[in-house]
């Protein structure tokens, strides 16, 4: 096992240590906004204590990352495969353009979470947000699932403005009291039995990381948001 203390280290030095070590398990202590941690890394298990900076796990390719704290912007940017678990909140653009793997955020996510998410063949990205999400959630989404659970929030919709703006594939699923105002290219409906079966697997996984009660979470209403078949964006993209 490799243990890295971020104190007085430049982010480039931390990245080099991660890439060059033959150790599979890595613990990173005292992260304080250090950028690009584990970017492009695969085949390692990394625990981060503190607050990693922007683009943590960008281009991730099969690595598992657990953050004991919150994370800044663009976590999992263009992520290809792997797992990111955040025991706190995330900044803006979590899962930007992710095309595979899973991200679980215990608390809230900032603006533009899950924008440009896409799926292709065996690649299927999943973003689960335990609290609420900011505006432009799932903007231009083309594939995968974004699930917002609204745990311990005071919001009726658990999302900001312009949810699914430009969406042309995939699903956004909201556990909420009511729907937000949605763009015309979005179709919304209450989750059916098939939807709930799919949702439950991700809820159970979320609870396995963070200790919540899956039965309590599943007892509330879920809404499923998908792209309208008459969506003017649909003809411009290939999506799954």
> CATH number of the domain that 131 lies in?
2.160.20.60
Give me 30's structure tokens. Answer: 């005292």
Residue in the block written with tokens 């973003």? 127
Q: Does residue 77 sit within a domain?
A: no
Domain presence at residue 107 = yes
> What is the percent of the chain with per-residue pLDDT over 70, rounded to a whole number?
95
Q: For residues 127-133, give the mean pLDDT.
A: 98
Residue 58 within a domain: no
Q: What is the DSSP string of 72-104?
A: -S-TTTT--EEEEEESS-B-SSTTTT--SSEEE
Listed in sequence order, the DSSP H helices in the chain are 11-20, 193-210, 214-218
- Encoded tokens for 228: 């309208």
Query: Over the stretch 28-79, which tens digit does the pLDDT of each residue have?
Result: 999 999 999 999 999 999 999 999 999 999 999 999 999 999 999 999 999 9
Could you tell me how many residues make up the chain?
240
Global pTM? 0.94
Confidence bin at 216 (pLDDT 50/70/90): very high
Query: Which range marks the domain in which residue 165 is found?
Result: 89-236
Instruction: Please state, rounded to an integer, the average pLDDT across all residues of the chain.
Output: 94
What is the H or E stretch that residue 195 is in? helix 193-210
pLDDT at 125 over 60: yes
Using alpha carbons, list the distances in angstroms from residue 93 to 9, 12, 105, 117, 194. 26, 22, 13, 11, 29
Classify residue 17: in a domain, yes or no. Answer: no
How high is the pLDDT of residue 238? Answer: 52
62 within some domain: no
178 lies in a domain? yes
63 within some domain: no
Cα–Cα distances in angstroms (integers) from residue 73 to residues 57, 66, 93, 97, 198, in the given order: 11, 16, 6, 13, 28
What gap in Å lies between CA 54 and CA 75, rounded to an integer? 7
Compute φ and ψ for 156, nearest 5 degrees: -80, -25
Query: How many Cα atoms are found within 13 Å in the side-chain-facing hemisphere of 189?
Result: 11
- The secondary structure of residue 12, as a DSSP letter, is H
Please list the residues that pair with 61 across neighbouring strands. Answer: 81
Counting the structural domains of the chain, the total is 1
Q: Region of 97 please: left (phi>0), alpha (psi -120 to 50) or beta.
A: left
Residue 231 has pLDDT above 90, yes or no: no
The tokens of 170 are what?
């995939």
141 in a structural domain:
yes
pLDDT band at 95 (very low <50, low <70, confident <90, very high): very high
């Amino acid at each position: 096992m490799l243990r890295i203390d971020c104190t007085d280290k430049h982010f480039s030095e931390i990245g080099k240590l991660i890439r060059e070590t033959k150790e599979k398990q890595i613990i990173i202590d005292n992260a304080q906004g250090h950028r690009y941690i584990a970017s492009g890394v695969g085949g390692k298990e990394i625990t981060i204590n503190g607050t990693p900076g922007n683009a943590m796990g960008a281009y991730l390719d099969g690595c598992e990352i657990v953050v004991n704290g919150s994370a800044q912007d663009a976590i999992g940017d263009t992520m290809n495969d792997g797992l990111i678990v955040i025991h706190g909140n995330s900044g803006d653009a979590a899962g930007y353009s992710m095309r595979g793997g899973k991200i679980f955020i215990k608390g809230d996510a900032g603006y533009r979470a899950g924008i440009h998410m896409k799926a292709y063949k065996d690649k299927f990205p999943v973003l689960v947000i335990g609290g609420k999400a900011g505006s432009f959630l799932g903007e231009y989404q083309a594939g995968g699932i974004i699930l917002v659970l609204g745990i311990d929030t005071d919001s009726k919709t658990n999302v900001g403005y312009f949810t699914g703006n430009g969406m042309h594939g995939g699903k956004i699923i909201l556990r909420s009291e009511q729907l937000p105002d949605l763009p015309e290219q979005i179709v919304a409906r209450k989750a059916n039995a098939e939807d709930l079966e799919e949702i439950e697997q991700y809820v159970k996984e979320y609870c396995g990381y963070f200790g919540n009660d899956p039965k309590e979470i599943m007892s509330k209403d879920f809404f499923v948001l998908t792209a309208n078949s008459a969506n003017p964006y649909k003809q411009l993209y290939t999506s799954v």
